[in-house]
Structure 1
Amino acid sequence: MSNPFHKICTLRTYIFVFLPICLKSLLLSGQPKTTNSESLNIGSISPKLAVQDWYYGAPITNIEKGRFYVVEFWSTWCSPCLKSFLPFNRIARKFKTKATFLSINVLEKKNYPKERAKQIIDSLKRTMKLDFSVGFEEEKKISEGWFGKIWDASVPLVVLIDSTQQISWIGDIENLKEHLTKVLNGEWDKEVAAKKRIEQQSIIKQDYETRDAVMPFFRNGYASDYFGNPDSVLSILEELERINPSAANGSNFVYHKFVALIKNDLILAEKYAENVLKINDDYYVDRYTSIINGLKYITRHQDVSPQLYSIGAKLLYEHGGSISKNLLIACNWFWLAGNKTESVKCLRKAKKVVKKAKNNGFGSFF
């Protein structure tokens, strides 16, 4: 349903009169709120494991004191979940004497074929020795008892539990090894991590508001172009940042500012991307993904500078190098950046990734 306000307001009125009032109200409502006693965060006591069947490995019935646990949650319909098994198993193999690793199938439809999940695990077992146990949740108890209480949780999800039965870290497989090492070595401050996670939640909530604020300047959503002038989007983002500086840390903010700058001034876009990527701070949620997706989107409509192609190619090669499709895009961007040597190197790596996937025999699962 269209907003009737848009029909009576000019674009200038929307940006300079109505928008600042709305944004201030939205951003104030997005400030950190006290979590209730039922929520799960870093420092919370881990819930009980409600596993109906253990399909592989030793059954884990309780989270015991004195032991460390690494719990991965996955679903059959989740492609990233299936791709995470390989790195998860590598980490489990390296740390198996120091922690217990388990992978639990969750969030399936009521009548999903359990055989589907077993086929996936069987395909893994044919090619490698699994160093983690695999179980299936009991009557949605983990989906509700864990996911329903972790803010913005989605699969694949990894939860680290320390020797005091407390949750030490919540995140993804990409960052697991780094944080697991810190937890095991006693280098992890749960209080600081819990506070940072709450602040990150606030940033993500504000970022949803950023997305909603720029949507009037799209014809048909994310796949289409801005209405006429990217200056309008930059004005909105500037106002968002003025009201609440932390809004600039969100992934939607980074994405939209980057794309708008490309349309306005390639030099400014280059500088913005370089500055964002230099910041070593977890508050910049998915900044790599924001820059990569911005380039993927914009290069479908126009060419960019060799410097931007180079930035995107390096990011894809470093952060998406395990996926052949990303590597092929990186190869093309290296070539367009004038770096033929890196383009050929990238192509060779892509061929190895494709060959390895075929040899593993994962078929349609991977």
Structure 2
Amino acid sequence: MRTLEAKRSTTQPRSAIETVVRELRRSPLLALIFFVPVVILLERMAPEAHTLLFFVAIAAIVPLAALLSRATESVAAKTGDAVGGLLNATLGNLTELIITLAALQAGQYLLVKASIAGAIVTNSLFMFGGAFLIGGLKHHLQEFNRVNARFQASLLFLATIAILVPSLTSGLDRTPAGEFSQQLSLGLAILLIAVYGLGMVFSLKTHKELFASVGQAEAGEEPWPLSIGIVVLIVVTLLVAIVSEIFVGSVQAAAQHLGLTPAFVGFIVIALVGGAAEMTTAFSAARANRLDLSVGIALGSAAQIALFVAPVLVIVSYFIGPQPMSLEFWPGAVAMMLVATMAATLLSNGGHAAWYAGVMALAVYAIFALTLFLLPPGVTQ
């Protein structure tokens, strides 16, 4: 009897700290965690070294994303893939929200709108397609709940239409202050937040049986206890917020030094860095044949940005911005969001995934990235 108790005591973690230390030793990628205190100290000692801070901040976000991914997978194992995907999307979007709030306060509305559009396109094409590719390279054919995928894609399409309307009617607004566009954007922001809230009630409460996972997940690493997973999520999220603020403070000057346009920085760089945590979880879940979790993260995050984050920024701009922000985007961004939404809808229609479908989605994303990289400065102003 004592022998059995001794074996159990050796297999169970004694504390949350010992569990985290064991994970740090198991994953070599987490060795980059030392960049977190480095970037915080560097920001205090050499705040003018923007380019160096830019790269060190990116290196610091990588291990934090890995920890956030591991903790979210543990929580998802206890709560289910639908709740796990929503939780990861919410915490992952916190980085984008912090970055855009800082840019909003500085009056950099082009960077804010590029970040919003870039996050929607990156999640719908790069993350979604990457999950199909990585999962398909290991599994011949994967299945996922197409009801959940089409639901998220429909929400995303609705939000894209709400962004399209102010852009189409911008020519009707002849007032100097753009009152029509601002009033329309404020009304649409309130409407989108209400629709998003009702969507959560529909998917998590009244019709949650429609969103159950259909894939057969592989046996992987033993998940953390729920309490440890939640604690790690909270701590890592706070650290991501701190590093993101440093990243925001250096990204503009570093971009100018590297010859990058604000559109490319917001659309590509900030979207990839801000979504690093979500991508890590989505890709690892797809490889473990948990494609429902990957789809929930990718499309759920895109829908949350379009239906919640963007409307919140419009409302908050009345309080912290130099002037109210509208939902009017430049035509190229609107076109890219529409194409990304249609591509996600087509990919999610059948409920099956193969690696070449991921290649096609990534190819569309690469076309957008190359276009923005070569775009002359000032075209999107």
TM-score normalized by the length of structure 1? 0.26
User: Higher strand share goes to which structure?
Assistant: 1
Q: Give the number of the structure whose alpha-carbon radius of gyration is greater.
A: 1
User: Higher helix share goes to which structure?
Assistant: 2
